[in-house]
Structure 1
Amino acid sequence: MNKNTVLIIDDDVELTQLIEQYLSTNGYQVFAYHNGKHINEHIDLHQPDVIVLDLMLPDIDGLTICKNIRSSFNGAIVMLTALGDDIDEVTGLEVGADDYLAKPVKPRVLLAHLRAQIRRQTKIQQVTQESCIFCFEGKIKLDAGNRTVLNGNENVSLSSAEFDLLWLLAKQVGHIVKRETLHEKIFRLPYDGIDRSIDLRISRIRKKLGDDSKVPAIIKTVRNVGYQLAT
């Protein structure tokens, strides 16, 4: 059985070594670098399943790296930050991060998140066997095989996590999907009632689809319940 591969980009040498040792002990193949140089070469060389990316690096910030690689890297990106500021989480999710953890992160907590992301990636492979789904009076087409979204004749560029979320809504088009259900299916972790990751992703998807954020017609909000994709 092939080991899952994790690429760590973090300038905290001590923390990186601790995480690398812990993940290796738990069956992962880990490669660690302490700056953002040659990131595309590292990805091509190691073909990681997940990238763990520090927000603050000595030569380039993690948000810029995430934005630059998101269009070509289909695996999960987990961002780390010591700032603990909501605006960074929002920005990180908007440029394509799949998950977000505050430093100092405990190795076992990171491991749980990595496992959740890898389970999600496995689910993606199963989804590719499913057919296309049309919604919003046939104007929007989701193709699971190619993981593409068309809004009319225009291609909509979604991150991996954004596509997964929209696909979950599409599979129950016309029906209300609870927020906690979406959270648990996307992250494979229980919903704590506070986390805003699903809401942030919905907001980002609406923007990319051209949906009115104040009076949305494509993805409707059902107050205190969840979301509904229009048929």
Structure 2
Amino acid sequence: MKLLMIDDDTGLCELLSEYLSAQGFSIQTAHDGQQGLELALQNDYALILLDVMLPSIDGFEVLKQLRQTKLTPVIMLTAKGEDFDRIFGLELGADDYIAKPFNHRELLARVKAITRRIEHINSLNVATPSKMNVNGITVNLAAREAAINEHTLTLTGTEYEVLVLLIKNAGEVVSKEQISEEVLGRRLASFDRSIDMHVSNIRKKIAEHIAGEKIKTIRGTGYVFIQGE
């Protein structure tokens, strides 16, 4: 699988390129935001590793412009302790984040969790779609699409997976820990707001097409997809 890493730390790019290449990935690198954005728009990558602090345009602007036309999975590389960067990146449509400095094995685990999901998608037989329709939202599992009254929801891969998990368990509480492990492929860390932000993004996109609460927050536990009005 081909990955794109956008980071102005050339030494880190070289080290990670060598490490990830040894794991079977093909790596392309860019060292400023504008160049990275152009590569991301012109090519198809399985995943993008995107640093926040970049020359020319920062990682947030890269992600914002990318999401106008592409849903390529993105892992944001943030500074340790910069909660705003993490939350803002997720609001803009990042799939996950990892704080610098990070362990190479942890990054590899994050990358593999997302690329495994892509491999599963590619293995599906889209000729025989399986659909679910709950409380006004239709999910086509084979085509990996969610729609409301024939209006397709523009969801990132992670948002789609979260929505499907909630719909499959409609009427039941799904914990944040379960969502993190099944969708992001990792245990939920303390004070990690990634699941909250993904659910928030899904709610906003649903609200553009249909009224009423569809996903209820169970404080301190998780979320419930409401079965009906």
Deviations 1:37-73 (A, max 9, x none): 3445523665321111111111001111112222443
Q: What pairs up with 1:140-151 in 2 under 5 angstroms?
A: 140-151=137-148
Contact 1:128–1:147, Cα closer than 8 Å, also in 2: no
Please tell me the residue identity of whatever aligns with 2:30.
Y
| 8 Å contact from structure 1 (residues 219, 228) kept in 2 | yes
Displacement of 1:175: 2.1
Deviation at 1:229, TM superposition (A): 0.8
Q: Which residue of 2 aligns with 1:225?
A: 221
* Partners of 1:64 and 1:127 in 2: CA distance: 33
Q: Decide which of 77, 93, 97 is 1:96's aligned counterpart.
A: 93
Q: Does 1:87 align with 2:73?
A: no
1:196 equivalent to 2:193? Answer: yes
Query: Contact 1:5 / 1:46 at 8 angstroms: preserved in 2?
Result: no
Residues 32 and 54 in structure 2, CA contact (< 8 A), matched pair in contact too:
yes
Please provide the CA RMSD for this pair.
2.3
Give the SS at the match of 2:33. coil
**Alignment correspondent of 1:134:** 133
1:22 to 19, 26, 48: 19
Task: Give deviations 1:13-47, integer Å, cap 9, x for gaps.
Answer: 11111111111222221111111234455236653
With 64-73 and 127-136 compared, the bigger mean Cα shift is at 127-136
In structure 1, C-alpha distance between the alignment counterparts of 2:55 and 2:148, rounded to whole Å: 40
Deviant stretches of 4+, over 4 Å: 126-130
What 5-or-longer segments of structure 1 have no aligned partner?
A: none
2-structure distance, mates of 1:177, 1:82 = 30
Is the 1:128–1:144 Cα contact (8 Å) retained in structure 2?
Answer: no
Residues 1:104 and 1:201: Cα distance change in structure 2 (over 3 Å): same
2:58 counterpart residue number: 61
Question: How far apart are residue 87 of structure 1 and its match?
Answer: 1.7
Residues paired across the two proteins, number: 222
**Alpha carbons of structure 1 residues 44 and 59: separation in structure 2 relative to 1, 3 Å:** closer
2:182 to 181, 185, 188: 185
Q: Which amino acid aligns with 1:117?
A: I
TM-score, structure 1 length as denominator?
0.85
Residues 120 and 187 in structure 1, CA contact (< 8 A), matched pair in contact too:
no
Q: Sequence identity of aligned pairs in percent?
A: 36
